[in-house]
Structure 1
Amino acid sequence: MASILIVDDDPDIALLVSHKLRTAGHDVAVEVDGVAGLEAIRRSRPDLVVLDWMMPRMNGLDVCVEVRNDGSITATRILLLTAKAQEADLERAYASGADAYVQKPFSPRELAAQVEALLAR
C-alpha cells in the first residue's frame, strides 16, 4: 500500500481517481488546488502525487518545480493528469519534473496501471 495525494480542482475527477486508487489498496488524500497540494506534499511526503496541470492559485507545473527543488521530497513521484495534449505540453511537463503524463479524458484502468508502474520503480 502506498500513500497517494490527488491534487485536482475538479471534484468529479478527484472522486473517480481516489475511488479507483483506494480500491487498489492505497491510502489516498485529496487537495483542491496547487497551494494546498504543495503544502500537503511537504507535510505528508506521499509516495506519489496525481497532479492536475490547470488549477487555481498554483498550477501543476509550478508544483512540480517546487517539489523537485525541495531536496527533502525528491523521492515523491509525480503523475501529471491533464487535458493538455500537445507535444510541447508533454515536454514542459517532463522538464518541470513530472515522472509520467496521462491525458484527459482517461481510462481509470490505464491511470491505475500508470500509478502501479510508477510505484514499482
Structure 2
Amino acid sequence: MNQNLILIADDDADVRDMLAVTLEAAGYRTVGAKDGHTAARIMTVAKPIGMITDVRMPSMNGMELCQLARNTPDIKDMAILMVSGNNHAYDVDAGLISGADGYLGKPLAPKALVAELQTLISRRAAG
C-alpha cells in the first residue's frame, strides 16, 4: 500500500477539491478521479491506503468500486469511506454491504471526515 495516499472518487470537482485540501492539511497525499472507471485504474496502480468514494458516479458507481476493491488482492485491505447525499438507512446498509468500512452523509464536516478516515485506516492496519 502507498503510505499516506488517499484516492478521492467523486464526479463533483468542487467536492474533490474540498476533500483534497482537507486531507492534505491533515498530512495525506491525494489523487482524484472523476468517475468509477478512472478510480479503478488509479487504485490498482497506485495502491492507496484509503479511498473516499461517492455513491453515484458515471461509468461505475461507488458500490461497484468498493466491490472491485474488496476483490482485488493488492488493495482489498485499503480503508474505504463512502460519502453520499443519500442518508437513508437502506443506502447506508447497501454501502456497507458493498465493502465500505464507513459511510458519511453530505454535507461533510471536515474534522469528522478526517477523524473517521484515520480511524478506518488504523483499524485496517491493525488487521
Report the TM-score range of the alignment, normalised by the length of the smaller protein.
Answer: over 0.9
Q: Which amino acid in structure 2 is aligned with residue 38 of structure 1?
A: A
Structure 2 unaligned regions, length at least 5: none
Match for residue 13 of structure 2? 11
Displaced runs of 4 or more, over 3 A:
none
TM-score by length of 1: 0.96
Q: Which amino acid in structure 2 is aligned with residue 8 of structure 1?
A: D
What percent of counterpart residues are identical? Answer: 31
2:120 is the alignment partner of 1:118: yes
Match for residue 62 of structure 1? 64
Structure 1 unaligned regions, length at least 5: none
Distance 1:103 1:86 in 2: 9
Aligned positions of 1:74-113 closer than 5 A = 74-113=76-115
TM-score by length of 2: 0.91
Give RMSD over aligned pairs: 1.0
1:68-96 Cα shifts (integer Å, max 9, x gaps) = 11122111111001111111111111110
1:49-75 Cα shifts (integer Å, max 9, x gaps) = 000110011100000111111122111
The secondary structure found in structure 2 opposite 1:3 is strand
